[in-house]
Amino acid sequence: MQFRDLDNEICWLSTTTDISVAASINIDLVVSNNAGNFDPGDFISVGYMVDGVEVTNTFLDDVDLDASTSSNINITGISGTSLVLKVCFLNNAGAERYYLDVVLLQTPRI
Ligand SMILES: [Ca+2]
Ligand SMILES: [Ca+2]
């Protein structure tokens, strides 16, 4: 998915996943950008909601985005009943592009 010239915060929400049968869940995803000279206020925020409680795992501000064009986010040890991924984006120019490339939920191997 590509996110370009949003002007307001836009959040991608996954469908709700029942994780009650899993001992724990890991999330892997990749967010990237086109190194478009980001400005204060531009961000990508990666988090999730377990049983309705929201957690922000990673917040990438303009300095972070300028420093690296791709971030692998690995979140481990989630447990609960329902899981929704929530990834939010804000940029405001046509030259600024974000991408959400890979989303993987898995139970760790024993
Ligand atoms: Ca900007
Ligand atoms: Ca704009």
CATH number at residue 30: 2.60.120.260
**Ligand 2 midpoint to CA 7 (Å):** 5
Kind and range of the H or E element at 63? helix 62-67
Average predicted confidence (pLDDT) for the chain: 95
pTM attached to this predicted model: 0.93
Planar angle of CA 24, 25, 27, nearest 5 degrees: 155
The pLDDT, as a whole number, for residue 45 is 98
Ranges of residues in the chain with a pLDDT under 70 are 110
Which ligand lies nearest the alpha carbon of 8? 2
**Ligand 2 midpoint to CA 84 (Å):** 29
If one counts the domains in the chain, the total is: 1
Cα(61)–Cα(40) distance, rounded to whole angstroms? Answer: 7
Residue 85, classed as helix, strand or coil, is strand
The pLDDT, as a whole number, for residue 110 is 62
The pLDDT, as a whole number, for residue 82 is 97
Q: Which domain holds residue 54?
A: 2-106
Which ligand lies nearest the alpha carbon of 5? 2
